[in-house]
Amino acid sequence: MNKTVWNMAAAGLLILLLLNTGASRLQVRAEGPGLEYETQAAVPDQEDNYGPDIMGETYCVINGDTGEVLLSKNKDRRMYPASTTKILTTLLVLENVPDLNSPMTFTQTAVNIDPSSSTLEPKACAGETMSVKEALYGLMLKSANECGAMLGEYVAGSEAAFAEMMNEKARSIGAVNSHFMNAYGIHHDEHYTTAYDLALIMREAMKNETFRAIAGTAAYTMQPTNMCGARSIVNSHKMITGDFPEEGVLAGKTGSTPQAGRVLVTAVQREDMYAIAAVMGDNIENYYQDTQVVFSFAYDLHADRIRPVEWLPVNDNVTATDGVRIRYSPSTEGGVYTTLLQGQQVHRNGIYEDWSRVIVGGRYGYINSAFLASDRPEAVPVTEPYTGTEPETEPEPETEPSSDIGVSVSENSASESAEAADVSSATTALDKNEAELKKSTWKIVLIIVGALLGALILAVLILAIVNHRRRMMRRRRRKR
């Protein structure tokens, strides 16, 4: 009896193991030959995304007039703002200092900034006096941290007091997912914002004409001070200087720390729309290009040159027919994520015009569909390129019913044939769906049965062990 119980337990455990292995395979998304078709777990978390994907971790584009969100990617995710913090600093100084020609003298505390951070050239010294206006130019164009620290002290008396003013101002304009610890953006774990909040802050700042003038200046010569001659400074934002051309740029601010990556805030006015973009968590190779991509998409969408991205669902595996780039967005201007070599296979879960959305490395990438071959071509829907607003079609003129009975019967027959074909096609699709559903249902039933069988055999095994121990104890007692 003991031998029989042990054999049953072993068989049950083996069945349970095999069934669980099969269940696990249903949830696996492989990234090479033989990969499984998509399950829910295979889709990356896209949060509140609407618009092209870019290399930057988050972005938000808003209408500068209305505040409406036009495009976004993870817009409410907490990020480090780096020197784009200085947008809010400048706004608060402009709102709290009536006379920008007022002189202020740098303290030792203000100039005691990390020497590797952004400063004037030469760096401002303790005891040096310059006007608030000159310090603001140094802050926004040269991103001078000592200017930010001194302006904060000048307005609020201390860095901590100015940070509290920053937090109050952010909350008042709806930037409720932000928290600031200093006036210049040197890294602090509790100093953060979001792409959406940063766009709101920029929108508020751009309402101030003086801010627009300072933040949109390409180059400036600072007046001599009591300790230094004139300093010539150039804006760090390449779209403002023209080193990276972009139409209609009004103002902007750059930011960069190892923890924040590259951050870029930009305001543009072209065609009939004023827009602001905040791109965060990017890198030096892509952050200008990515900003250009999201602006282009936003303006094309606004002018009805493109329709909103509506990815048609696909569930197939595709093989590269040639070496092809996988991009961060469905655009030839999109940054290159990686390269798919000829013969390599990836999973695809959507198509949009000429583009395929694939899953690579746990995130979405985009490939020109012309370079891909599907293992399930019958499952791939056909899309048509969008050429702009569809023209309004004139209603067909009403006509008298034809007296030609033969023609009428012929047309009806053709219509019935087409309907029959549609019904046949729909029935075939329905049959396929029912077959897939039954297949999935049976798998689930097998898994449940296996689990129950395993649990039952495990209980029998435990009972057998307990009975065996009891018998052994009885034998010992008899021997005694």
Please, is 350 exposed, middle or buried when counting C-beta atoms within 10 Å of its C-beta (0-12, 13-18, 19+)? buried
**Which phi and psi (to 5°) does residue 79 adopt?**
-140, 165
Question: Mean pLDDT over residues 34-40, rounded?
Answer: 53
Question: Mean pLDDT over residues 263-287, rounded?
Answer: 96
pLDDT of residue 249: 98
Q: Are 236 and 122 in contact (CB under 8 A)?
A: no
Q: Hey, which bits of 197-330 come out as E strands?
A: 219-222, 231-234, 249-257, 261-270, 273-282, 312-320, 324-327
Question: Mean pLDDT over residues 355-370, rounded?
Answer: 87
- Percent of the chain clearing pLDDT 90 (strictly above): 56
* pLDDT score of 403 more than 60: no
What does the alpha-carbon distance between residue 451 and residue 19 come to, in Å, rounded to a whole number? 8
The pLDDT-based confidence of 413 (bands split at 50, 70, 90) is: very low
Amino acid of residue 50: Y
pLDDT of residue 126: 97
- Candidates 166, 169, 145, 143; CA nearest to 156 is 166
pLDDT digit string, tens, across residues 120-139: 999 999 999 999 999 999 99
Adjacent-strand bridge partners of 450: none
pLDDT of residue 439: 57
| Domains of the chain by residue range | 1-30+436-480, 42-50+311-379, 58-302
* pLDDT score of 435 more than 70: no
What DSSP letter does each residue of 76-142 carry, written as one string?
A: TS-B--GGGGHHHHHHHHHHH-S-TT-EEE--HHHH---TTS---SSPP-TT-EEEHHHHHHHHHHS
The domain 42-50+311-379 having CATH identifier 3.30.70.600: the answer here is no
Neighbours of 380 (CB within 10 A): 18
pLDDT digit string, tens, across residues 239-248: 999 999 999 9
Q: Assign domain 58-302 to a CATH class.
A: alpha beta
* pLDDT score of 143 more than 80: yes
